[in-house]
């Protein structure tokens, strides 16, 4: 077994890997950026090294810096977690080529084969696994995409070859959308995965997203650990995952598990991985392989009792899987809720800021994977996740009832979160019935339902919010009985200079949701990085036109004008960092 493992990641997954190492008696090394000097994973590790500035491209994606740290720290293995370099075959190859260093993951050649979606489709077809109709060759010409649209019928999906999680995927519903969608998919592929290659496949309108967890050792043994249902998504990003899937019957469950095993065996795959499928009308189609640990591996651990991360380390150390396929059984039901710093009432816009209150739930059936504590800042440099809440029960109904209790006792203030959305889902008939598809949130859930959920269950305190009055909740005791009392504009505040001020803070600057077009200027709704500008001085624009593309918390957001006018100036360029309220485009008076 290894003596010291460098975890090339941050946040909750870094802590999760370090916990598995700790149980195996392995020392751990953290890497961190300037923005993460005081992060939870840094505190948890036995040793920690700075690898660069806040931008991931200059720190967590800096292969040379991470390999240098591994050498300096005396690490004998690198675990990549998920995201960042986890599916980078080039980095895995560099680790494999370094004397005394082991890659905790699949072989780099298998990663290259399965990580590039066109190659993966070919492998799966050879293994007899059904695939969605599409190309096995890359495309880079809009005319070629239009020809494929005519062949398959619209809608079609343009997908980044190195992509995943909806990033680098654009849905095209007509010929007129092809050119811009192709450009956007290529841009996202380059930005997120360093690969602007794309391919095209038929887009299924209302599928379930079902994925199978696999483990394979270096001695030819492949096991699957059952499936997860990840159908509840917004903008192709998973928000709630569960195991097992409520959509599969016993026969389909057996078939899809066997298909996943055949596919990874054909590729010569080892370690942990996930084979993702789309399920529609009783048929399943291969979508992609994630050659890493998944965010949602937790629900599989909950229902199987198998520690997947521990097995990643054991397999990388050359050990054999010591259980048969028949030994794998599913006990009960588990659901993972992603607690993100996002505002569901504002199209899930990221809301970075301080966790002025952070009080997660506990008790029976509740697991929490996180790396934050009260007072920490949720920055805008990385994704918006605060924590993962995993709830397990005897069956799906019991699990959802237990989830309601857990979410009711999860208190976060300082930032908006997805907690109100999750609580809304627990009262949603479609979700409770398990009949939701990947399109449910984007196409069927009413915006006013999200608005009402945030108003009912959202945080009372969001950093930067201003309003006519502020409220505070305090506990008082009368004759031995506790009461929670809400005080409006009644509690004094102490400023940084020691002087008292009223709770209303009348001179505080604006916050919350900013109208993108204000006083002749189109402003940023959130902190982020400019990916592209879509207008130039002299252009006439109308309400709803996209003026630029802004990346915030690893998501690409179109900035649109709320009113029309003529562009006077564009004070931003590609690559600029902007803060909430910064001017992006100036319109003529």
Token representation of residue 197: 């290659």
SS (H, E, C) 194-236: CCCCEEEEECCCCCEEEEEEEEECCCCCEEEEEEEEEEEEECC
Residue that is written with structure tokens 């050498």 in the block: 71
Task: Give the pair of three-digit tokens for residue 20.
Answer: 């598995």
Q: Is residue 566 annotated as a catalytic residue, yes or no? A: yes
Q: CB pairs under 8 A, 24+ apart, for 567-570?
A: 567/535, 567/536, 567/537, 567/538, 567/539, 567/540, 567/541, 568/520, 568/537, 569/537, 570/533, 570/535, 570/536, 570/537
CB 30 within 8 A of CB 5: no
Angle at 408 between CA 402 and CA 411, to 5 degrees: 130
Q: Outline where 78-228 has alpha helix (H).
A: 89-96, 108-115, 117-126, 142-152, 178-193
Give residues with Cβ within 8 angstroms of 230, minimum separation 6.
Answer: 209, 210, 211, 238, 241, 296
How far is Cα 198 from Cα 231, in angstroms, rounded to an integer? Answer: 24
Q: By C-alpha distance, which of 247, 245, 165 is closest to 212?
A: 245
Catalytic residue among 430, 566, 573, 583: 566
Q: How far apart are CA 315 and CA 318, in angstroms?
A: 5
Task: Spell out the alpha helix ranges (H) of 11-102.
Answer: 11-23, 40-44, 63-73, 89-96
Strand partners for 473? 486
Tokens representing 155 are 């809608």
Among 223, 312, 215, CA closest to 2:
312
Please say whether the beta carbons of 19 and 43 come within 8 A: no
Place of tokens 């990643």: 312
Instruction: Taking the CA atoms of 176, 233, 543 and 585 in sequence, report the sign of the dihedral they define.
Output: negative
Catalytic residues: 566
């Amino acid at each position: 077994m290894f003596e010291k493992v460098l975890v090339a990641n941050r946040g909750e997954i870094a802590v999760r890997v370090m916990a598995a190492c700790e149980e195996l008696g392995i020392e751990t090394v953290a890497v961190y950026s300037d923005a993460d000097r005081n992060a939870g994973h840094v505190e948890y590790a036995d040793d920690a090294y700075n690898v660069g500035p806040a931008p991931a491209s200059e720190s967590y994606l800096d292969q040379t810096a991470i390999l240098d740290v591994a050498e300096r720290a005396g690490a004998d293995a690198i675990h990549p977690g998920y995201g960042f370099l986890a599916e980078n075959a080039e980095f895995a190859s560099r680790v494999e080529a370094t004397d005394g260093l082991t890659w905790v993951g699949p072989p780099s050649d298998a990663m290259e084969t399965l990580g590039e979606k066109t190659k993966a489709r070919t492998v799966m077809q050879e293994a007899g696994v059904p695939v969605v109709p599409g190309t096995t060759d890359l495309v880079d010409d809009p005319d070629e995409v239009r020809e494929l649209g005519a062949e398959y019928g619209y809608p079609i999906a343009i997908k980044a070859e190195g992509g995943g999680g909806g990033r680098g995927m654009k849905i095209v519903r007509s010929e007129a959308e092809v050119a811009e969608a192709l450009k956007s998919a290529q841009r996202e592929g380059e930005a997120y995965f360093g690969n602007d290659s794309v391919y095209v496949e038929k887009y299924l309108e209302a599928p379930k997203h079902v994925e199978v967890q696999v483990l394979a050792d270096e001695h030819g043994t492949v096991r699957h650990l059952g499936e997860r249902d990840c159908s509840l998504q917004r903008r192709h990003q998973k928000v709630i995952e569960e195991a097992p899937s409520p959509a599969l019957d016993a026969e389909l469950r057996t078939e899809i598990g066997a298909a996943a095993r055949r596919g990874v065996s054909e590729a010569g795959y080892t370690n942990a991985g996930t084979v993702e499928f789309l399920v529609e009308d009783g048929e399943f189609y291969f979508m992609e392989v994630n050659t890493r640990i998944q965010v949602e591996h937790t629900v599989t651990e909950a229902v199987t009792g198998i520690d997947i991360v521990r097995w990643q380390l054991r397999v990388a150390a050359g050990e054999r899987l010591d259980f048969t396929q028949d030994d794998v059984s599913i006990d009960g039901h588990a659901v993972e809720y992603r607690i993100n710093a996002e505002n569901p009432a504002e199209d899930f816009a990221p809301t970075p800021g301080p966790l002025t209150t952070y009080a997660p739930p506990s008790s029976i059936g509740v697991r929490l994977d996180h790396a934050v504590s009260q007072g920490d800042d949720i920055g805008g440099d990385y994704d918006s996740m605060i924590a993962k809440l995993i709830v397990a029960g005897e069956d799906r109904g019991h699990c959802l009832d237990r989830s309601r209790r857990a979410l009711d006792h999860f208190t976060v203030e300082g930032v908006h979160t997805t907690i109100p959305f999750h609580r809304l889902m627990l009262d949603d008939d479609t979700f409770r019935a398990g009949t939701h598809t990947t399109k449910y949130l984007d196409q069927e859930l009413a915006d006013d339902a999200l608005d009402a959920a945030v108003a009912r269950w959202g945080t009372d305190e969001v950093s930067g919010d201003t309003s006519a009055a502020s409220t505070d909740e305090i506990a008082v005791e009368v004759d031995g009985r506790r009461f929670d009392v809400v005080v409006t504009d009644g509690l004094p505040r102490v400023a940084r200079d020691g002087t008292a001020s009223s709770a209303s803070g009348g001179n505080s600057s604006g916050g919350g949701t900013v109208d993108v077009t204000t006083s002749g200027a189109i402003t940023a709704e959130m902190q982020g990085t400019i990916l592209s500008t879509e207008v130039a001085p002299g252009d006439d624009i109308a309400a709803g036109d996209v003026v630029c593309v802004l990346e915030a918390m690893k998501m690409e957001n179109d900035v649109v004008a709320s009113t029309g006018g003529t562009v006077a100036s564009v004070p931003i360029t590609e690559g600029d960092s902007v803060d909430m309220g910064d001017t992006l485009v100036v319109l003529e008076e």
